């Protein structure tokens, strides 16, 4: 990046009518908006989860969120337009398509809970991969108010300003274009942080003023081919990682869904891991297949926290007695799942549960070798643990729901882990 950008930033900050001075600093309303918008996004997530989200933008909790954003007129006037329900175009397709609606709710839920950049970017790329019609990076305006130091806002003026400042041809409606712009904005922001802010609203305001013709610049800041390729290479690598992670996550969620379905059909109270409730299979969240509240267990809080992370639990009806527990180990270390099972077993020695490790067929030999190790055998000699293969669970799920009358039906497909 060329040093003259410093001069542009200084002109931007000196201008009393700039976005920096009229919106970014000395603006209590901007600061108040963060709290309102965050609470509003949580309401959107809750409404989608509870099936009370309407089939139109008007009157929805999402309208409240976008209205709060649009009220920041210095940058976000018109922010609501991409979210208006356009019946003839069927966009954005999050109002009438239940699967897309739940995916959008799960995305917002994950972004609310995310604590690091890597997780946020993975969720963005995963959402992009769903190809939900009309749901583009205008959503970044919501994300900015959730994570202002990690995700910049995004609109026509900001894109135009970016292209003018850096001699680029980035487009408005693409998440990949947004992420490429973001990478450059972060680098410039880091280089000139003493003039700007860790809050990306400052640099976004700079681009907005340039794109709105409030701040005129030349083309001396054009990115070099090497800088541009560095950005694109990083984005390609990240997308590939997310796609691979997504495939693994989808399989994991599918197996959890099968287990929840079987347990419910057999008459047990079922629940998934506390950190998986927003995950979906076939358009249905795992949380909607689970009990709303985790049963209160007669153990200390540290142990209870570990147990709540077990992938799927079946409880005897209306009780806190665990009937069966399942750890799905798609690609993570099997040892951690075994450890949680052993903790559960020793927490309730008087009423031992049925314990199962659920694994891909190709990991069967790996599990057998692991269980044969002396160090592992020594920790579970008194634990009755079995494993189930993905292919068997998928193949026999419906039959067990139809013909099973207790957890003993699992013995038909389970194998002894020893």
Tell me the C-alpha distance between 141 and 126, whole Å.
Answer: 18
Residue with the bigger pLDDT between 3 and 170: it is: 170
Nearest alpha-carbon partner for 197 in 184, 208, 185: 185
Tell me the C-alpha distance between 112 and 100, whole Å.
Answer: 18
- In the 8-state DSSP scheme, what is residue 385? E
Residue with the bigger pLDDT between 352 and 99: it is: 99
Contact yes or no for 292/318 (Cβ under 8 A): no
Contact yes or no for 315/268 (Cβ under 8 A): yes
Q: What is the per-residue pLDDT for 373?
A: 75
Residue with the bigger pLDDT between 34 and 374: it is: 34
List the single range of 12-16, 148-152, 175-179, 215-219 with lowest mean pLDDT.
215-219
Cβ-proximal residues to 69 (8 Å cutoff; 6+ apart), any chain: 33, 37, 76, 79, 80, 141, 142, 145
Q: What is the per-residue pLDDT for 8?
A: 92
Q: Is 127 exposed, middle or buried (0-12, 13-18, 19+ CB in 10 A)?
A: buried
Q: What percent of the chain has a predicted confidence (pLDDT) above 90?
A: 58
Contact yes or no for 412/393 (Cβ under 8 A): no
pLDDT at 2 over 50: no
| pLDDT winner (highest mean) among 70-74, 258-262, 318-322 | 258-262
Q: What is the mean pLDDT of residues 149-161?
A: 95
Question: Which band of pLDDT confidence, cut at 50, 70 and 90, is reported for residue 255?
Answer: very high
* Phi, psi (rounded to 5 degrees) for 271: -155, 145
Q: What is the per-residue pLDDT for 383?
A: 74
Q: What is the per-residue pLDDT for 379?
A: 60
pLDDT at 359 over 90: yes
Secondary element (H or E) of residue 76: helix 73-76
Residue with the bigger pLDDT between 20 and 219: it is: 20
Q: What is the per-residue pLDDT for 192?
A: 92
Tell me the C-alpha distance between 131 and 110, whole Å.
Answer: 18
- In the 8-state DSSP scheme, what is residue 404? -
Express each pLDDT in 377-396 by its tens digit. 666 666 778 999 999 999 99
Tell me the C-alpha distance between 79 and 203, whole Å.
Answer: 18
Q: Average pLDDT over the chain, rounded to whole? A: 88
Nearest alpha-carbon partner for 239 in 113, 153, 149, 127: 127
* Phi, psi (rounded to 5 degrees) for 270: -120, 155
Nearest alpha-carbon partner for 334 in 353, 351, 354, 311: 311
Domain boundaries, the chain: 5-223, 255-416
Q: What is the per-residue pLDDT for 298?
A: 84
Q: Is 12 exposed, middle or buried (0-12, 13-18, 19+ CB in 10 A)?
A: buried
pLDDT at 1 over 60: no
Q: What is the per-residue pLDDT for 418?
A: 67
Q: What is the mean pLDDT of residues 316-345?
A: 84
Tell me the C-alpha distance between 391 and 406, whole Å.
Answer: 21
CA–CA distance from 410 to each of 303, 373, 389, 393 (Å)? 27, 26, 12, 9
pLDDT at 3 over 80: no
Q: What is the mean pLDDT of residues 318-335?
A: 86
pLDDT at 251 over 80: yes
Question: Which band of pLDDT confidence, cut at 50, 70 and 90, is reported for residue 40?
Answer: very high
Strand ranges in 23-85 using DSSP code E only, listed in sequence order? none
Q: Give this prediction's pTM.
A: 0.64
pLDDT at 229 over 60: yes
**Residue carrying structure tokens 């709540």:** 308
Q: What is the per-residue pLDDT for 303?
A: 84
């Amino acid at each position: 990046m060329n040093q003259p950008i410093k001069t542009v930033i200084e002109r931007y900050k000196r201008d009393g009518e700039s976005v920096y001075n009229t919106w970014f600093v000395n603006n209590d309303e901007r600061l108040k908006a963060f709290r309102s918008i965050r609470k509003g996004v949580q309401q959107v997530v809750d409404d989608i989860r509870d099936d009370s989200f309407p089939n139109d933008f008007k009157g929805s909790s999402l309208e409240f969120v976008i209205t709060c954003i649009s009220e920041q007129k210095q940058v976000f006037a018109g922010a609501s337009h991409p979210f208006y329900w356009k019946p003839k175009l069927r966009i954005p397709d999050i109002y009438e398509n239940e699967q897309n609606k739940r995916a959008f709710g799960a995305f917002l839920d994950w972004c609310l809970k995310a604590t690091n950049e890597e997780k946020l970017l993975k969720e963005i790329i995963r959402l992009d991969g769903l190809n939900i019609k009309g749901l583009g990076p205008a959503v970044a305006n919501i994300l900015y108010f959730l994570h202002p130091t990690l995700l910049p806002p995004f609109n026509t003026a900001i894109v135009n300003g970016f292209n003018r400042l850096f001699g680029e041809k980035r487009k408005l409606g693409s998440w990949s274009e947004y992420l490429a712009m973001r990478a450059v904005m972060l680098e410039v922001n880091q280089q000139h942080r003493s003039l700007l802010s860790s809050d990306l609203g400052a640099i976004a305001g700079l681009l907005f003023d340039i794109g709105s013709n409030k701040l005129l610049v030349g083309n001396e800041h054009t990115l070099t081919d090497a800088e541009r390729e560095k950005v694109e290479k990083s984005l390609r690598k990240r997308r590939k990682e997310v796609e691979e992670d997504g495939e693994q996550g989808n399989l994991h969620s599918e197996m959890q869904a099968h287990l929840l379905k079987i347990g419910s059909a057999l008459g047990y109270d079922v629940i998934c891991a506390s950190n998986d409730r927003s995950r979906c299979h076939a358009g249905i969240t795992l949380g909607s297949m689970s009990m709303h509240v985790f049963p209160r267990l007669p153990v200390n809080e540290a142990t209870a926290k570990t147990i709540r992370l077990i992938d799927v639990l079946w409880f005897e009806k209306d009780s806190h007695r665990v009937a069966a527990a399942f750890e799905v180990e798609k690609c993570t270390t099997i040892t951690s799942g075994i450890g949680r099972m052993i903790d559960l077993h020793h927490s309730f020695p008087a009423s031992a549960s049925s314990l199962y490790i659920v694994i891909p067929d190709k990991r069967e030999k790996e599990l057998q070798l692991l269980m044969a190790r002396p160090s592992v055998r020594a920790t579970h000699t008194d634990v009755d643990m079995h494993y189930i293969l993905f292919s068997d669970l998928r193949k026999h799920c419906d039959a067990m729901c139809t013909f099973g009358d207790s957890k003993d039906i699992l013995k038909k497909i389970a194998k002894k882990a020893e």
